Structures are given as structure tokens and as C-alpha cells.
Structure 1
Amino acid sequence: MTTFENTTTNNYNYGHNASYCKFREEFKYILLPVSYALVFVVGLALNSTALFVIVFRTKRWKPSTIYMFNLTMCDTLYIFTLPFLVYYYADENDWPFSEALCKLIRFLFYANLYGSILFLCCISLHRFIGICYPMRSLNWVSARRAKLVSVAVWAIVLFCQAPILYFSRIRDQKTERVCYDTTSPELFDDFLVYSSIVSVLMFALPFMVVMVCYGLMVRKLLEPGWGSEGGPDGERGGLSAQRTKQKSVKMIIIVLGTFMLCFLPFHLTRSLYYSFRYLRQINPAQISCTLLEASSVAYKVTRPLASANSCLDPILYFLAGQDARSNLTKKGRASSSKTTSVSRRLTTKL
């Protein structure tokens, strides 16, 4: 069966049978470079700030801090690959670099995508245990266990995304060199099976876990007597139940927003496009070129949204994390106090 690839070629697909479709996709040569450049600038600034605060301004690393550090590292590694993609798509799919770099960049995209999903799931589970089982969380949740869970998450991500290093490859097509964002046409059927399994295990299941956790958290937070006998694990004695509720609500909004805006549209449109493409290969009369092109356009439009999670993740740390704001405030106060002290000494000497 002859397959075809339209996501990385300029206005046409390869194939010489009835499944051949001609696409016009010049829009992506503007959309993708501009969006990736914006994600690079904004994401680099936010993640660098988050890493600085976590590494240099956080004295006590709680489990949530450990998960946020790993999430930020995951985003930062991906952000450094974006300049290569900006150049590639601005040059209309002409890859000037090596095949090894093509494999690495595609690998880091999916590693960031699913690493972010799993670490957000860990953060959600951590907050869920603290809210719904505050006393038991004293034994269940610890920094040591958070480190072990983080190592396990990285191992799962690296293992599950390792096949990307095999599927991703480059190929010379006329006057350009393509760096496939999926795989070469002859391997697409195998890639479809692999991609479907990964989507279920590393997106659908974590998404369901997050939704269930947040549903139970909201129900718990709405109970009239919640917080009267002590807040959840990780909260200091001086924090009120109201502040804990606000912090939890902010986290719920940001994480659900990230899933709904970045992850869900990408996986839905990608699944539709892959399915339509596969069905057309089997029976061209079943899927029209118009429908296939529409699904391809939708998939490409949501790809920048998937990358935008690198900008939203640090916002989770700064808005939902009281410690982060406290560390930044302390830094500002310390600088102000130091300046005032120096000024007073100078005034005295003068």
C-alpha cells in the first residue's frame, strides 16, 4: 500500500495512486515560525525566572517544588530547540542541519509534551492528597518520594518516546530536505499504532486522573466545615483555610486551562488527521481530499498551542505557589533594606 506525507512538503503529497491529494499550506510558513518565536521569547523569560527562584531563592524544597523544578526543566530543554524550528519553517521546510539534530528536536518536542502532562498530573495528585486526605498525607507525601516519582516519570517519558528517534528522519525531496514531524511515508502505519498507544497511556489516562482529582477536590473544598481542623499537608500553620482554598482554585483553573487549551485540541486534531490519512490510504473514496486537508490544517494550527504549554507552566508556579511570590518579595525587600542601610551609613559618614 502506498503511503504519503503532506505535513512537511510544499503544496503536494508524494504518491501516485488514487490516494494522492494536493494541499496548499503556505500559511504554516508564517504561523509556525511566528508562534514558535513568541513561545521561545516568552517561555525562555518565564522559565528562566522560575528556575532562578526555585534554585537560588527556595530554601526548603517541598514535593510541589520538586515537581515544578522538573516541569520547568522539561520546558526549558524544549524551548532551546525552537530556534531551529523557526528557521526550518521560515525557510519553507528546507532542513539545513543533520538528521541526528532532526531526531533530537522531534524527540524533545514529544518528551516535553508528555513530560509536562505527567508532571502536571503529579502536581494535581499531590494537591488532591493534601486537600482530601490532610492527615494521611503526612505519611504519604514527602520530598524523598517526590524525587523517586520524578525519576520514574523521566524514565517513563524517555522509554516511551525513544521510538521517536527511530521514526523521525530526513529525506531529500527535489530542492529541499524534509525533517518529518511524523515519519517517512513507508513507516506511517507503524507510527500510527505507536502514536495511538502513547496518546492513550500518556494523555488520555492522565487527563482522566486530573479530572477525577479536581472533581473530588472541588467537592471537598465546598464542604462547610473544611479547614476547621487544620489545612492540608505542606501548608504552614499561619496560612488560613481561605488562602488554601484560593491557592487550590488557582491551580485547578491553570492546570485545566493548560489541558483544555494546549493538550486536548492538539491530540484531537492529530488523531483525526492521522485517522483520515490512514483511511484514505485504504479506501480513497471514503475520505475526500477536502476533508483530509481540513484535518491537516486543524492539526497544524494546534501544534503551536501544544508548544505554548511551556509558557503556561511557569504561570502555575508563580500564581498558584505562595512560596514563589514570597521568595520574590523577600528578594525585593532584602535589596531595598540593603540599599537603605548603605545610604544611612554614607549619610552618617558625610
Structure 2
Amino acid sequence: MDVSGNSTLMTNVTPAPDHCNTTNPVTYKILSWLMIGEFALGLPLNLTVLYIFLFRFKFWKTNSIFLFNIVVADFLLVVCLPAKAYHFQHGVRRSSNRFVCQTMLFMLFLNRGASIAFLTAMSLDRYFNVVHLGRGNFIRVMKKSPQISILIWLLLLPLTIPTMLKTFECCNSHGRMFETDPQDITDTFREVVFFTQILIPFFILIYCTVRIVNRLKKKTVGDKTKLKRAVCLVISVILVFSVCFLPCTLARMALLFVRLKEWQEVENVVVQVYDGFMVLSYIDCLLDPLVYCFCYSGFKDAYLDTFCPAVIRRKLSIDFFTGTLTTTATSGTRITSPVITPVTLPMIDKN
């Protein structure tokens, strides 16, 4: 009787079992190869983009400090992918080493938060430049100051540090402990941050897009190129959000729901879906260069001129926004200034 009573008592106080091991090894091996592919494509892409911003655009002179921070965030995200793929290959969702696990989570969530913050800031900048042209644009002032970018990174730290306190992916995440657990408030705060840092910027982007499109429709005279580029920018950012961030957010909602309902068999499936969408979210390091093309009309031309052969440059010599044919230099002469001559390439939009 005593043994039975003690066993019953232990059952009541022990948290629900958590499975950090993969329930379907085949699924996670496929996800690991997808991450290896993202790493193989993302590392050279982000290194070359980093080179463009450092040596061609000189980002500190061309008001592209926010974009440079997105490149840095993407690069730091890419270098974390091999470790994550290694764990999936060996049938675990996270490292068994507590320090490695928490460091990986911190890096992944910090860099994703930085990408979202700077992408949203760039979209707001275009919104103010188009819809509230002539009024004070505080974001334009902010993006010229490196100190503001540093401040944004520092403000992200308090939102990311909770991932260092308790692991997030599987063990002791929200819904695993009883409500009386004093650490439950940490999990709740972390879940709130996870959802708000995606949903709030997404609604801001929708609002900016609607206002910019309406402004474009009302413009009956004058050059519409800048307005069209602004529309393309915010739509490209919404595309990044829709493909990379919203699916994992919805999957996280479903995971918390079935976990709190204690539907263990359903949870085993939803966990795989959630992990799959998280792997998909890492593809933003491949999609962000699309945003750079809309922020700076000369980015595509500078990139092609630096890294693509002359034959490819000739085939891609159609203007990115107007669809008109432009002539490009094929002699291999490097463009050392972000201001490109009108004869060869379009001027860089410094707004």
C-alpha cells in the first residue's frame, strides 16, 4: 500500500513526459538535409551580399545601415544551421548539452528577431516617404545612425534571454509544467514574445501596403517609379513573413493547444509539423536579398557586375522595375561608387 501510495504521489507531482528524441527519424533526416541545403546556398549568398554592402555600397555612407544589419542577422543565422542539422541527423531535436542547446536557441531567436525588426523598420521608412511625404520621418533619421542599430540589438536581448533560462524546443516548454511552477511565468512571457514579434509587424506591414497602394492609385501625374518600388518592397517583406514566419507561428499555436489538451498522439504529429515550419523559416536568409533589390535599385546591378560573368549580365540587362532594356558594361570594369551613371545602371535610391 505504501509503495502504491508513493507511486501515486510521484505521478501527481512529476511533469508530463517530454520527448526530445525525434518520433519519426525519416522526417527529421529530410529536415536535416533541407537545412544543409539552406546552409550551402545561404553561406555564399550572404558572404557575397556582405561584400557588396562593405566594399561596393559602403553602407555607412548610403543610408543602408538597416539593410546591413539584416545581412549580419542572416549570416549569423546561417552559421547555426549545421549544428541544428547534426542534431536532427542523430535523432534528437536539440543538443543534450545544456550550454549548446541554450546558445543555439538564443542565436536563432535573436537573429530572427533582428531580421523582423529591421525589415519592419525599412517598410515603415518607405511608408512615411510615400504616404507622408514632406513630414518629419524619424525612421530616416534613425537609419543614418549606427547607434540606433546597436540600440535595437540591445533591446532585443531582454526578449531573447528567456530562451537561455529554460529550453524552448521540447523540454519544460509551456504546457509541460504545472501551473503552480514558479518558472511558468518565464514560459508564458517567452510564448508572448514569440507570437507578438511576428504578428504585430505583420499587421503593420499589411497597413503600410494598403496605404502605399492607395497612394499609388491616387497619383495621376508624375513619375510613379518610386511608388511602384515602395509597393514592391513592402510586398516582398510580406512575402518573407508569409513564407518564413507565419506558418511556424500557426504551427506553434496548434502545438500549444494540443499540448494543453494532453493529446499525446496528436502532439507527436504536430511537433513534426512545427519543426518542419521552423526549418522553412530559416529560408529567410535566402529571400532577404530580394528585399535589397527593391530597397536599392542598384543592388542587383552591382551584385551581377561583381559576381556574374558578362554573358549572364547581358541576359539579365532588363531593368528590374520598368521592364525596359538597359545597356550594361561588359568590359569587366568595376563600379567603385554606389552612385551609378544613368547610361549604364539606374541611380541608387537613397530613400
Asked if structure 1 preserves the Cα contact closer than 8 Å seen for 2:93 and 2:169, the reply is no
TM-score of the pair, normalised by structure 1:
0.74
1:223 aligns with 2:218: yes
Structure 2 residue aligned with 1:336, among 332, 338, 342? Answer: 332
Task: Specify the alignment match of 1:166 in structure 2.
Answer: 165
5+ residue gaps in structure 2? Answer: 1-12, 311-328, 335-351
Give the AA of the match of 1:116: S
Work out the percentage of aligned pairs sharing the same amino acid.
21
Q: Could you say what secondary structure the match of 1:225 adopts?
A: coil
Native 8 Å contact 1:63 1:143 kept in 2: no
Alpha-carbon separation, structure 2, partners of 1:270 and 1:85: 19
2:249 corresponds to: 267
One-letter amino acid matched to 1:255:
V
1:201 aligns with 2:196: yes
- Residue 89 in structure 1 maps to residue 88 in structure 2: yes
Query: Which residue identity does 2:130 align to in structure 1?
Result: I
The structure-2 alpha-carbon separation of the partners of 1:294 and 1:137, relative to structure 1 and needing over 3 Å to count, comes to: same
Q: Summarize the Cα distance change of 1:92–1:3 in structure 2 as closer, same or farther, 3 Å threshold.
A: same
Matched with 2:338 is none
Taking a change above 3 Å as real, the CA distance of residues 213 and 148 of structure 1, as seen in their structure-2 partners, is farther
The 5-angstrom pairing of residues 81-230 of structure 1 reads 81-93=80-92, 98-137=97-136, 141-142=140-141, 145-168=144-167, 181-184=169-172, 185-186=176-177, 189-190=184-185, 192-225=187-220, 228=222
Task: Tell me the equivalent position of 1:4.
Answer: 16
- Measured in 2, the distance between the counterparts of 1:71 and 1:311 equals 12
Alignment CA distance shift 1:145-1:294 (3 Å): same
Contact 1:247-1:321 within 8 A present in 2 as well: no
User: 1:39, CA displacement in angstroms?
Assistant: 1.2
Contact 1:117 1:203 in 2 (8 A): yes
Q: Which has the higher contact order (CA 8 A, sep 6+)?
A: 1
For structure 1, which segment, 288-297 or 25-34, has the greater mean C-alpha deviation from structure 2 after superposition?
Answer: 288-297
Stretches (4+) displaced over 6 A:
94-97
Q: Is the 8 A contact 2:42 2:78 kept in 1?
A: yes
- Within 2, Cα distance between the matches of 1:222 and 1:94? 49
Q: Deviations over 1:17-73 (max 9, x none)?
A: xxxxxxxx2233223211111111111122111111001101464676111110110
C-alpha displacement at 1:121, in angstroms? 0.6
1:251 counterpart (194, 212, 233):
233
One-letter amino acid matched to 2:153:
W
Looking at structure 1, the residues matched to 110 and 123 of structure 2 have their Cα atoms a distance apart, in angstroms, of 20
Aligned partners of 1:315, 1:298: CA distance in 2, in Å? 27
Question: How many Å separate the matches in 2 of 1:139 and 1:277?
Answer: 43
- Residue 278 (structure 1) shift: 2.2
Distance 1:190 1:127, change over 3 A: same
Measured after TM superposition, the shift of residue 219 of structure 1 is: 0.9
> Normalised by the size of structure 2, how large is the TM-score?
0.74
**Residue 270 of structure 1: CA displacement?**
0.7
1:317 partnered with 2:292: yes
SS at 2:25 equivalent: coil
Q: Any conservation in 2 of the 1:28–1:300 contact (CA below 8 Å)?
A: no
Report how far residue 7 of structure 1 moved.
5.3
Structure 2 Cα separation of the partners of residues 49 and 271 of structure 1: 37
- Structure 2 CA distance for aligned equivalents of residues 273 and 309 of structure 1: 23
> Structure 2: how far apart are the matches of 1:167 and 1:315?
35
How many equivalent residue pairs?
294
